[in-house]
Amino acid sequence: MSITFNPIGIIHTPFKEIEEAPIQSARSEINGEVEVFPEFTEGLDGIEEFSHIYLLYHLNQSDQPLSLHVKPFLDDQPHGVFSTRYPRRPNPIGLSIVRLLCRDKNHLAFFGADMLDGTPLLDIKPYIPSFDIFETTKTGWFTNRKIQ
């Protein structure tokens, strides 16, 4: 089975190297910009009515080989890749929730950049609290990690 995704735009941030980028959008105080390709501009209608959006993107600059056990950025112990948000994954798809600042035609300014400049954008979805907030009861290894 083969699955093909075509980018709908490009994400622009000040980060050129993986080491420069924050580990999560919630820990970032950096602005970025989404440039949606002109043929998809109509799909942005109404997006400015949301304070936060999901950005789904291709981790195209993660050149590390696949590993099913990784040491996440906030722990010194290895864990299964699917119990982490580590970028070295079988399908290198990134997900960030960012604060939408404004829209200008096919450009979206946002706060909370944690991706590299030039990252291909795959999709945008609105963040809707009544759908997206869950009360958690367990957070796995993150609860007892040594690295803050």
Report the pLDDT averaged over residues 108-134.
93
pTM for the full predicted model:
0.87
Q: Which domains does the chain have, with CATH numbers?
A: 9-144 (2.40.30.70)
What's the mean per-residue pLDDT of the chain? 89
Q: Give me the pLDDT at residue 86, please.
A: 81
pLDDT tens by residue, 1-53: 999 999 999 999 999 987 788 777 777 788 999 999 999 999 999 999 999 99
- Give the whole-angstrom CA distance, residue 56 versus residue 119: 10
